[in-house]
């Protein structure tokens, strides 16, 4: 029975995804290690180090079904690592050719390279969801470019904004994350091949050629030197997941706040029974957002653990290296789960534009106090205008009248501005500043980023990118 709910048959779908678990589960990891062993044999055969027939036999044998997983588990418990038992199983499956397996390699070479292959696959799944979220939020930013709502600071009405601007603000860091993802891939997708102590002495003068050949065979980069005790790339990967999940958590936090009964401006996509209560049939709880927040907190908590594991001793870590297997799979599974939930929200969020406008108007125009102050400042000076509007706002709160009505009763205002001018000053649609331009800037960058980071090129344009 799983201890971690992310691996549970019952709770697993709440905390992660089957697709990411499939990348990091035991069977996938063991097969990746076999893939590395087979690739090593092929490279060494091409370089005349082992017989070609042996490489062919090793490749044919490097399949998970040829391993006795019970024996492998027993060996792993005894040795502390799976590679000794895995190589023994591969040797048996390859027959006579088995004596050429694992030539010149060490345990960590196989495990680290297999891990990099898993990370590459995991990042690919993250990239797929992230691109979909970017596209969905871009569409919403355009759709709601002119949808008025209250901007809120310290949880109170501040100035009018548009829901399109809020979506663009949600979108903006995700573009940076897409760029980071491409940069991260170039810094982490390295083969590991250094032999017992990072010198490849067992291969004589052929060591670097084998390392470079193995990298090419697995479509990885070759490092300048082995990175057995240099874990910055993997630590950066988890740091990236912490940043990404944090950006998802920002979206989830806003959705939770906007979905409160008293606000009711948005709601998560409706699915019958989802978010319901066992005792309150009317409830529609923001379940997706809640699990995004839970995942983000956990992933961000794992970031310092991974960074602490960078302090590895001499040429092979005694403890810190083993920490990584506790952190990396969990970080990827939780982040991908959060990404899936965020995509659901981005694509299916219910938006109540009428409620947004009613909430904006509910304070009688007080959120336009800055607009009134700036409109009066040329006539009265900024400081006097500030005091006058502050007084008018206080009167409006005390009496229940609107800010426009309160301002009209101020002699210093009515002497300078007509009733129509006062109305325009307190019209939220006239005080949006550069909101629309900011949306356009973010959407243009979204087009550029999707073009630059996608698996293939596509044509830019409003029909595709909404820029």
The residue ranges of every structural domain in the chain are 18-103, 105-146+160-353+435-467, 366-425
Model pLDDT, residue 457: 41
> Using 50, 70 and 90 to split pLDDT, how confident is the model at 1?
low
Res. 460: pLDDT tops 70: no
Res. 151: pLDDT tops 70: yes
Residue by residue, DSSP assigns 242-257 as: HHHHHHHHHHHHHHHH
Measure Cα distances from 414 to 97, 380, 404, 418, 450 in Å.
98, 12, 11, 6, 53
Which range, of 195-199, 202-206, 278-282, 341-345, averages the lowest pLDDT? Answer: 278-282
> Using 50, 70 and 90 to split pLDDT, how confident is the model at 142?
very high
Does domain 366-425 fall under CATH 1.10.40.30? My reply is yes
> Using 50, 70 and 90 to split pLDDT, how confident is the model at 285?
confident
96 burial (CB, 10 Å; 0-12 / 13-18 / 19+) is: exposed
Model pLDDT, residue 388: 92
Question: Which of 161 and 3 is assigned the larger pLDDT?
Answer: 161
Helices (H), 190-319: 207-217, 232-258, 287-308
Do 138 and 465 form a contact (C-beta atoms < 8 A)? yes
Model pLDDT, residue 315: 93
Does domain 18-103 fall under CATH 3.40.50.720? My reply is no
Percent share of the chain, pLDDT over 70: 94
Res. 280: pLDDT tops 90: no
Model pLDDT, residue 272: 65
Which range, of 242-246, 327-331, 423-427, averages the lowest pLDDT? Answer: 423-427
Model pLDDT, residue 7: 82
* 3-class SS string, 362-382: CCCCHHHHHHHHHHHHHHHCH
Model pLDDT, residue 134: 98
Res. 454: pLDDT tops 80: no
Model pLDDT, residue 466: 45
Active site positions, annotated? 277, 316
Model pLDDT, residue 196: 93
Cα–Cα dist 108/114, whole Å = 10
Model pLDDT, residue 5: 85
Mean pLDDT of the chain: 92
Q: What is the pLDDT of residues 203-225, one digit of tens each?
A: 999 999 999 999 999 999 999 99
Could you tell me which CATH number the domain at 105-146+160-353+435-467 has?
1.20.200.10
Model pLDDT, residue 129: 97
> Using 50, 70 and 90 to split pLDDT, how confident is the model at 284?
confident
> Using 50, 70 and 90 to split pLDDT, how confident is the model at 407?
very high
Mean pLDDT (whole number) for 33-48: 98
Model pLDDT, residue 9: 80
Res. 275: pLDDT tops 70: no
Do 16 and 25 form a contact (C-beta atoms < 8 A)? no
- H helix and E strand count, the chain: 20, 4
Q: What is the pLDDT of residues 161-199, one digit of tens each?
A: 999 999 999 999 999 999 999 999 999 999 999 999 999
Res. 274: pLDDT tops 70: no
In 155-176, which positions are buried (b, 16+ CB within 10 angstroms) versus exposed (e)?
eebebbbbbbbbbbbbbbbbbe
Mean pLDDT (whole number) for 2-19: 85
Closest CA to 44 of 214, 220, 199, 202: 214
Mean pLDDT (whole number) for 7-13: 82
Model pLDDT, residue 456: 47
């Amino acid at each position: 029975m799983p201890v971690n709910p992310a691996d549970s048959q019952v709770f697993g779908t709440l905390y992660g995804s089957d697709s990411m678990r499939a990348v990091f589960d035991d069977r996938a990891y063991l097969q990746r290690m076999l893939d590395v062993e087979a690739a090593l044999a092929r490279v060494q055969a091409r370089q005349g180090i082992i017989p070609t027939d042996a490489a062919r036999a090793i490749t044919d044998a490097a399949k998970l079904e040829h391993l006795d997983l019970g024996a492998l588990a027993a060996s792993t418990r005894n040795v502390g690592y799976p590679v000794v038992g895995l190589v023994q199983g591969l040797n048996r499956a390859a027959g006579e050719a088995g004596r050429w397996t694992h030539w010149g390699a060490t345990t960590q070479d196989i495990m680290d390279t297999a891990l990099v292959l898993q990370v590459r696959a995991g990042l690919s799944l993250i990239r797929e969801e992230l691109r979909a979220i970017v596209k969905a939020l871009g569409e919403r930013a355009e759709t709601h470019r002119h949808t008025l709502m209250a901007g809120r600071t310290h949880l109170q009405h501040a100035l009018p904004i548009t829901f399109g601007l809020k979506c663009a603000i949600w979108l903006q860091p995700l573009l940076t994350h897409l760029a980071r993802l491409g940069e991260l891939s170039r810094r982490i997708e390295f083969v590991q091949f250094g032999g017992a102590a990072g010198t490849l002495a067992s291969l004589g003068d052929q060591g670097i050629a084998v390392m470079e050949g193995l990298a090419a065979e697995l479509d990885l980069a070759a490092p300048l030197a082995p990175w057995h005790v240099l874990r910055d790339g993997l630590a950066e990967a988890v740091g990236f997941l912490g940043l990404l999940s944090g950006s998802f958590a920002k979206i989830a936090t806003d959705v939770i706040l906007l979905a409160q009964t008293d606000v009711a401006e948005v709601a998560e996509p409706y699915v019958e029974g989802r978010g319901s209560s066992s005792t309150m049939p009317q409830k529609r709880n923001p379940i997706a957002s809640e699990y995004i927040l839970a995942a983000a907190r956990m992933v961000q908590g794992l970031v310092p653990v991974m960074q602490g594991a960078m302090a590895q001793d001499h040429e092979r870590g005694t403890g810190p290296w083993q920490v990584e297997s506790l952190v990396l799979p969990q970080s990827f599974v939780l982040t991908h789960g959060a990404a899936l939930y965020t995509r659901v929200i981005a694509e299916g969020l219910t938006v109540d534009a009428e409620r947004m406008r009613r909430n904006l108007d509910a304070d009688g125009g007080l959120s336009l106090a800055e607009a009134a102050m700036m409109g009066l400042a040329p006539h009265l000076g900024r400081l006097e205008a500030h005091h006058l509007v502050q007084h008018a706002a206080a009167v409006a709160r005390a009496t229940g009248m609107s800010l426009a009505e309160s301002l009209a009763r101020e002699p210093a205002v009515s002497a300078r501005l007509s009733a129509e001018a006062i109305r325009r000053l307190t019209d939220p649609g006239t005080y949006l500043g550069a909101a629309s331009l900011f949306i356009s800037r973010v959407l243009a960058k979204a087009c550029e980023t999707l073009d630059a980071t996608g698996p293939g090129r596509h044509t830019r344009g409003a029909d595709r990118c909404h820029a």
